[in-house]
Amino acid sequence: MDIDELAERVMAGDRRALSRAITLVESGRADHRAQAVDLLEALKGAGRTALRIGLSGTPGVGKSTFIEAFGMFLIAKGLRVAVLAVDPSSTRSGGSILGDKTRMEQLSRKREAFIRPSPSQSQLGGVARRTREAVAICEAAGFDVVLIETVGVGQSETMVADMSDLFLLLLAPAGGDELQGVKRGIMEIADIILVNKADGDLKSTATRTCADYAGALKLLRKRPQDPAGFPKAMTVSAVTEAGLPDAWEAMTELAEGRRASGHWERNRAEQARHWFLEDLRAGLLARLHTDPDIRAEVDRLGRDVAEGRISATAAADEMLATMRR
Ligand code: GDP
């Protein structure tokens, strides 16, 4: 199938075309890469925008249970939902935290839903590009909501936040008053903290945990561009579905507030620039390793530096000058 035809089918909502398109952007082959670039250009013509929601949480907090319940809730509202996963564990161990169990069984059977596991790749940078491209494909395919899920380890949260319009942090109720060791940086990128499992015996603990986080959020930097009350902490139960309508209302309120203030567009523009620079940096770095002439020169200068014939600074300058030519 040629790329224009694949693009047409994706935009017409053909699921097989959608899977194929994502497989194409996930491929590392140079010819596939060139086709992927053409495909993404062709899909821009769709001019569609989804609400991109990033979601993070440590294993066991209930991400898959939440996404299943929340996805079904959105479908009942007449929306179409795509779920993409970013699993940094698969890049390190080859095994994965997100992908190895049967997840979201009900949702995965729905015509209005599309679920795609994390691409396996050796570097988070590669996963970032592929996920970002998969988001763009799902958007062109007409999904209303694209959920991008990640586990709460390493750099993956920031990466997901950098491709989302809203960022949710899912937490479990915590006994005692420790704030579950949530890193400050993650608190700072969270728009809405959802304390999950607010049901049965855990309900009162969840309410207390939620109040603790609401207090902690107040101490963080204000976001004058957002509606009053954000970032906020709320309780939900993925099992009983309590709190899901309120959580969705908060998400839409925030999204609409950002659209009205122009922050939404500015954010997307900044994200696009950020990813352009990331791709450029990755491309330049790759050239250091793959271009034989450049490699030979890097090796030669490296030896000269090690043997004290030239300073590291001068060698780097010389290399950059060579690359400019
Ligand atoms: P993930 O690793 O973050 O994807 O977490 P899972 O969705 O697999 O859930 C981990 C465990 O927490 C499972 O045993 C779920 O049944 C349980 N769980 C998830 N959500 C809730 C909830 O809202 N309430 C209660 N009581 N248990 C939940």
Domains of the chain, CATH where assigned = 1-45 (1.20.5.170), 48-260 (3.40.50.300), 275-324 (no CATH)
Q: How confident is the model at residue 270 (pLDDT cuts 50, 70, 90)?
A: very high
Q: Whose CA is nearest to atom 5 of ligand 1?
A: 62
Q: How confident is the model at residue 129 (pLDDT cuts 50, 70, 90)?
A: confident
pLDDT of residue 92: 47
Cα torsion 198, 204, 207, 211: sign: negative
Answer whether 243 contacts ligand 1 (Cβ < 6 A): no
How much is the mean pLDDT over the chain? Answer: 89
- Cβ neighbours of residue 158 under 8 Å, at least 6 residues apart? 185, 189
Mean pLDDT of 115-138: 82
Mean pLDDT of 23-42: 91
Whole-prediction pTM value?
A: 0.90
Substitution site in 58, 61, 65 for ligand 1 pocket (most atoms within 8 Å of beta carbon): 65
Answer whether 172 contacts ligand 1 (Cβ < 6 A): no
Measured between alpha carbons, how far is 174 from 208 in angstroms, rounded to an integer? 8
Q: Which amino acid is at 183?
A: K
Residue 192: which region, alpha, beta or left (left: phi > 0; alpha: psi -120 to 50)?
A: beta
pLDDT of residue 94: 47
Mean pLDDT of 10-20: 95
Write out pLDDT tens, residues 275-292: 999 989 988 888 888 889
3-state secondary structure of 8: helix
